[in-house]
Amino acid sequence: MKKSLAVFALVLMFAVPAMAADSVVYNAKNGTVITFDHKGHAARTACKECHGEGAPAKVIVAGKEKAHALCLACHKKQKDAKVSGKCSECHKK
């Protein structure tokens, strides 16, 4: 029983990250495109930081308010030099 549980845990540990998309493209209302590097973020950040507790959804719906609150707050907390508050840093034409 313990052996099969350990095998299941190992399979799950490697399968879940493999299912995640490498990048996600969001179309903003202002006509710009935001490309989110999911794989890169997942390598540096715990899933629950963005997804909350529980299993992450396969599709993430992030409106303007949610994305700005979540993304900008995290980048500011990390003191990420790539995000200084200029819209064009994420929003590309």
Q: For 34-55, write each residue's pLDDT tens digit.
A: 888 889 988 988 888 888 888 8
Q: Where residue 1 falls among pLDDT bands split at 50, 70, 90?
A: low
What CATH number is attached to the domain comprising 66? Answer: 3.90.10.10
Buried-state track 64-75, b at ≥16 Cβ within 10 A, e below 16: eeebeeebeeeb
Q: Where residue 84 falls among pLDDT bands split at 50, 70, 90?
A: low
Which structural domain, as residue segments, surrounds residue 57?
Answer: 2-89
Specify the number of domains making up the chain. Answer: 1
User: pTM, whole model, 2 decimals?
Assistant: 0.61
Predicted confidence at residue 50, as pLDDT, reads 84
Q: Is the pLDDT of residue 2 over 70?
A: no
